[in-house]
Amino acid sequence: MSTISRSATVLAALALFLIACGANAGESTQPAKAVTGATGIAASATEGTFEVALLAGGCFWCLESAYDDVPGVKEAVSGYAGGRTQSPTYKQIGSGSTGHAEVVRVVYDPSKLSYEKVLSIFWHNIDPFDAAGQFCDKGDQYRSAVFPMDDAQQAIAETSKKAHESKLGKAFVTKIEPPAVFWRAEEYHQDFHVTNPVRYNSYRLGCGRDRRLAAIWGEDAGH
């Protein structure tokens, strides 16, 4: 490969990498939509009763994709939680000044999927040892955290954390935080791995997420 061709390839890869959670061009400044977190959502009688898990694992694009094909999951929605500002925008979240974390709100059928399993998927898709953020994304807005919605979830989350700490033989820095209001992220963030697969995969590869997950969890690593 010539020097010119090699340079062009590098620049193209860099451009794709920069289109990440914290560097997305054309970001919306419209306020996010508020949804108060709850232990369950009553659906139609034919769908039964669903429950909710609220989880922060760095870039919400990647955490959302981890739940999309899980049996029992009704939806996984990207958003923000745990901060002070009302109706936050992506631009505000990106500044790291609001206290929010990028989160995914997982709505699932408890007759098909347990909260324990939801948490197990979560642990295997994060780096629980990174206090500065997640993978290439650093800052409080990219922290890892579990937001239990009631006492039952709180107890399960604490037990799950201890069990996975024991599995790896090291304490986690991931926090179990108080229940929080969920703010739905702007629509262009939803299902980003589906609507923008090239940009998503370039970001994920460049961020080193899968390499780090494999180093921590081995064959059990999420993807």
Catalytic residues: 59
> 96's torsion region: left (phi>0), alpha (psi -120 to 50) or beta?
left
CA-nearest of 123, 100, 111 to 181 is 100
**Residue 17: exposure state from Cβ atoms within 10 A (0-12, 13-18, ≥19):** middle
- Helices and strands in the chain: count of H runs, count of E runs: 8, 10
Is the CB of residue 203 less than 8 Å from the CB of residue 20? yes
